[in-house]
Structure 1
Amino acid sequence: MILELADIRIDPSQAAAFEEAIERGASTVIANARGFQGYKVNRSIESPGRYILMIYWDTLEDHTVGFRQSAAFADWRALVGPFFAQPPVVEHLELVSKSA
Protein backbone atom coordinates (compact mmCIF):
# COMPACT_ATOMS: atom_id res chain seq x y z
CA MET A 1 0.00 0.00 0.00
CA ILE A 2 1.16 3.55 -0.82
CA LEU A 3 0.36 6.67 1.17
CA GLU A 4 -0.10 9.89 -0.77
CA LEU A 5 0.57 12.85 1.52
CA ALA A 6 -0.60 16.28 0.33
CA ASP A 7 0.29 19.42 2.30
CA ILE A 8 -2.43 21.92 1.38
CA ARG A 9 -2.53 25.63 2.26
CA ILE A 10 -5.68 27.71 2.01
CA ASP A 11 -6.96 31.08 3.22
CA PRO A 12 -8.12 30.31 6.79
CA SER A 13 -11.27 32.41 6.28
CA GLN A 14 -12.39 29.78 3.72
CA ALA A 15 -11.94 26.81 6.08
CA ALA A 16 -15.60 25.75 6.37
CA ALA A 17 -16.19 25.83 2.61
CA PHE A 18 -12.89 24.06 1.91
CA GLU A 19 -13.63 21.32 4.43
CA GLU A 20 -16.98 20.67 2.80
CA ALA A 21 -15.40 20.63 -0.66
CA ILE A 22 -12.54 18.29 0.26
CA GLU A 23 -14.92 15.86 1.98
CA ARG A 24 -17.26 15.87 -1.01
CA GLY A 25 -14.41 15.48 -3.48
CA ALA A 26 -12.71 12.69 -1.59
CA SER A 27 -15.88 10.73 -0.92
CA THR A 28 -17.50 11.13 -4.35
CA VAL A 29 -14.60 11.50 -6.81
CA ILE A 30 -11.41 9.99 -5.41
CA ALA A 31 -13.23 7.14 -3.65
CA ASN A 32 -14.28 5.79 -7.06
CA ALA A 33 -10.72 5.60 -8.39
CA ARG A 34 -9.06 2.26 -9.04
CA GLY A 35 -6.77 1.27 -6.19
CA PHE A 36 -8.26 3.72 -3.69
CA GLN A 37 -8.16 2.33 -0.13
CA GLY A 38 -9.22 5.27 2.04
CA TYR A 39 -8.35 8.78 3.11
CA LYS A 40 -7.92 11.12 6.08
CA VAL A 41 -7.92 14.90 6.26
CA ASN A 42 -6.24 16.67 9.17
CA ARG A 43 -6.32 20.39 9.97
CA SER A 44 -3.31 22.00 11.64
CA ILE A 45 -3.83 23.46 15.09
CA GLU A 46 -0.73 25.66 15.00
CA SER A 47 -0.98 26.82 11.37
CA PRO A 48 -4.47 28.01 10.39
CA GLY A 49 -5.17 27.24 6.77
CA ARG A 50 -2.88 24.19 6.64
CA TYR A 51 -4.34 20.75 5.93
CA ILE A 52 -2.75 17.36 5.45
CA LEU A 53 -4.61 15.03 3.10
CA MET A 54 -3.62 11.38 3.29
CA ILE A 55 -4.89 8.99 0.63
CA TYR A 56 -4.12 5.29 0.66
CA TRP A 57 -3.61 3.58 -2.71
CA ASP A 58 -2.88 -0.01 -3.71
CA THR A 59 0.03 1.11 -5.92
CA LEU A 60 1.86 4.31 -6.82
CA GLU A 61 0.57 3.99 -10.37
CA ASP A 62 -3.04 3.88 -9.18
CA HIS A 63 -2.52 7.48 -8.10
CA THR A 64 0.04 8.86 -10.55
CA VAL A 65 -1.34 7.25 -13.69
CA GLY A 66 -4.82 5.87 -13.04
CA PHE A 67 -6.16 8.86 -11.12
CA ARG A 68 -3.94 11.81 -12.06
CA GLN A 69 -4.31 11.12 -15.79
CA SER A 70 -8.09 10.63 -15.64
CA ALA A 71 -11.01 13.00 -16.11
CA ALA A 72 -11.80 12.43 -12.42
CA PHE A 73 -8.64 14.37 -11.48
CA ALA A 74 -10.03 17.44 -13.27
CA ASP A 75 -13.30 17.00 -11.36
CA TRP A 76 -11.36 16.79 -8.08
CA ARG A 77 -9.33 19.91 -8.84
CA ALA A 78 -12.47 21.81 -9.84
CA LEU A 79 -13.86 21.19 -6.34
CA VAL A 80 -10.78 21.91 -4.21
CA GLY A 81 -8.36 23.78 -6.47
CA PRO A 82 -10.02 27.20 -6.09
CA PHE A 83 -9.17 27.13 -2.37
CA PHE A 84 -5.43 26.53 -2.80
CA ALA A 85 -3.27 29.47 -1.67
CA GLN A 86 -0.33 27.72 -3.40
CA PRO A 87 0.13 24.41 -5.18
CA PRO A 88 -0.03 21.50 -2.72
CA VAL A 89 3.19 19.66 -1.93
CA VAL A 90 2.57 15.97 -2.65
CA GLU A 91 4.75 13.03 -1.70
CA HIS A 92 4.31 9.27 -1.78
CA LEU A 93 5.38 7.09 1.13
CA GLU A 94 5.59 3.40 1.85
CA LEU A 95 5.16 1.82 5.25
CA VAL A 96 8.31 0.85 7.14
CA SER A 97 6.93 0.14 10.60
CA LYS A 98 3.58 0.24 12.40
CA SER A 99 2.24 -0.17 15.94
CA ALA A 100 -0.64 -2.52 16.68
Structure 2
Amino acid sequence: MILEHCDIEIDPAKQKEFEEAILRGVDTVISKAKGFKGYKVNHSIETPSRYLLLIYWDTLENHTVDFRGSTAFADWRAIVGPFFAKPPFVEHMTLVGKST
Protein backbone atom coordinates (compact mmCIF):
# COMPACT_ATOMS: atom_id res chain seq x y z
CA MET A 1 0.00 0.00 0.00
CA ILE A 2 1.15 3.53 -0.82
CA LEU A 3 0.46 6.66 1.21
CA GLU A 4 0.14 9.89 -0.75
CA HIS A 5 1.09 12.83 1.47
CA CYS A 6 -0.27 16.11 0.12
CA ASP A 7 0.68 19.29 2.01
CA ILE A 8 -1.78 22.05 1.11
CA GLU A 9 -1.68 25.76 1.91
CA ILE A 10 -4.81 27.90 1.57
CA ASP A 11 -6.06 31.33 2.61
CA PRO A 12 -7.20 30.68 6.22
CA ALA A 13 -10.12 33.08 5.71
CA LYS A 14 -11.59 30.44 3.36
CA GLN A 15 -11.23 27.53 5.79
CA LYS A 16 -14.91 26.59 5.97
CA GLU A 17 -15.38 26.63 2.19
CA PHE A 18 -12.16 24.69 1.59
CA GLU A 19 -13.05 22.00 4.12
CA GLU A 20 -16.41 21.48 2.42
CA ALA A 21 -14.74 21.38 -1.00
CA ILE A 22 -11.95 18.95 -0.10
CA LEU A 23 -14.34 16.49 1.55
CA ARG A 24 -16.75 16.72 -1.38
CA GLY A 25 -13.89 16.29 -3.85
CA VAL A 26 -12.54 13.18 -2.17
CA ASP A 27 -15.97 11.65 -1.64
CA THR A 28 -17.29 12.32 -5.15
CA VAL A 29 -14.14 12.07 -7.30
CA ILE A 30 -11.04 10.50 -5.72
CA SER A 31 -12.89 7.75 -3.85
CA LYS A 32 -14.05 6.32 -7.20
CA ALA A 33 -10.49 6.04 -8.57
CA LYS A 34 -8.83 2.71 -9.26
CA GLY A 35 -6.77 1.58 -6.26
CA PHE A 36 -8.21 4.11 -3.79
CA LYS A 37 -8.28 2.65 -0.26
CA GLY A 38 -9.09 5.55 2.06
CA TYR A 39 -8.09 9.00 3.21
CA LYS A 40 -7.61 11.44 6.08
CA VAL A 41 -7.68 15.22 6.05
CA ASN A 42 -5.90 16.98 8.91
CA HIS A 43 -5.83 20.71 9.71
CA SER A 44 -2.87 22.31 11.46
CA ILE A 45 -3.52 23.94 14.81
CA GLU A 46 -0.33 26.03 14.75
CA THR A 47 -0.57 27.01 11.06
CA PRO A 48 -4.23 27.68 10.17
CA SER A 49 -3.46 27.87 6.45
CA ARG A 50 -2.05 24.31 6.35
CA TYR A 51 -3.81 21.03 5.64
CA LEU A 52 -2.51 17.51 5.12
CA LEU A 53 -4.42 15.23 2.79
CA LEU A 54 -3.37 11.60 3.21
CA ILE A 55 -4.65 9.14 0.62
CA TYR A 56 -4.05 5.39 0.67
CA TRP A 57 -3.58 3.71 -2.73
CA ASP A 58 -2.98 0.08 -3.70
CA THR A 59 -0.02 1.06 -5.89
CA LEU A 60 1.97 4.16 -6.78
CA GLU A 61 0.72 3.90 -10.36
CA ASN A 62 -2.90 4.02 -9.17
CA HIS A 63 -2.20 7.62 -8.17
CA THR A 64 0.49 8.77 -10.60
CA VAL A 65 -0.83 7.10 -13.77
CA ASP A 66 -4.43 5.94 -13.33
CA PHE A 67 -5.78 8.91 -11.38
CA ARG A 68 -3.51 11.76 -12.46
CA GLY A 69 -3.82 10.70 -16.09
CA SER A 70 -7.61 10.64 -15.98
CA THR A 71 -10.27 13.29 -16.49
CA ALA A 72 -11.15 12.76 -12.81
CA PHE A 73 -7.93 14.59 -11.86
CA ALA A 74 -9.15 17.71 -13.68
CA ASP A 75 -12.51 17.36 -11.91
CA TRP A 76 -10.71 17.14 -8.54
CA ARG A 77 -8.55 20.18 -9.26
CA ALA A 78 -11.59 22.18 -10.36
CA ILE A 79 -13.12 21.58 -6.92
CA VAL A 80 -10.10 22.28 -4.69
CA GLY A 81 -7.59 24.09 -6.91
CA PRO A 82 -9.12 27.56 -6.52
CA PHE A 83 -8.32 27.43 -2.79
CA PHE A 84 -4.59 26.68 -3.15
CA ALA A 85 -2.28 29.52 -2.10
CA LYS A 86 0.54 27.68 -3.92
CA PRO A 87 0.87 24.29 -5.59
CA PRO A 88 0.58 21.47 -3.03
CA PHE A 89 3.69 19.50 -2.09
CA VAL A 90 3.02 15.82 -2.84
CA GLU A 91 5.13 12.78 -2.08
CA HIS A 92 4.52 9.06 -1.74
CA MET A 93 5.49 6.85 1.19
CA THR A 94 5.57 3.21 2.19
CA LEU A 95 4.91 1.88 5.66
CA VAL A 96 7.90 0.99 7.80
CA GLY A 97 6.06 0.26 11.05
CA LYS A 98 2.96 1.11 13.09
CA SER A 99 1.39 0.57 16.47
CA THR A 100 -2.04 -0.94 17.00
User: Which TM bucket (shorter chain)?
Assistant: over 0.9
Q: Gaps spanning 5+ residues in structure 1: where?
A: none
How far did residue 45 of structure 1 move?
A: 0.1
2:35 corresponds to 1:29: no
Partners of 2:29 and 2:72 lie apart in 1 by 6
What residue number does 1:7 align with? 7
Please tell me the residue identity of whatever aligns with 1:84.
Answer: F
Please tell me the residue identity of whatever aligns with 1:58.
Answer: D
SS at 2:47's partner residue?
Answer: coil
What is the TM-score normalised by the length of structure 2?
0.99
Q: Gaps spanning 5+ residues in structure 2: where?
A: none
What residue number does 1:98 align with? 98
Moved over 4 A (4+): none
RMSD across aligned positions (CA) = 0.3
Report sequence identity in percent. 69
Partners of 1:96 and 1:25 lie apart in 2 by 29
How far did residue 49 of structure 1 move?
A: 1.0
Deviations 1:72-91 (A, max 9, x none): 00000000000000000000
What is the TM-score normalised by the length of structure 1?
0.99
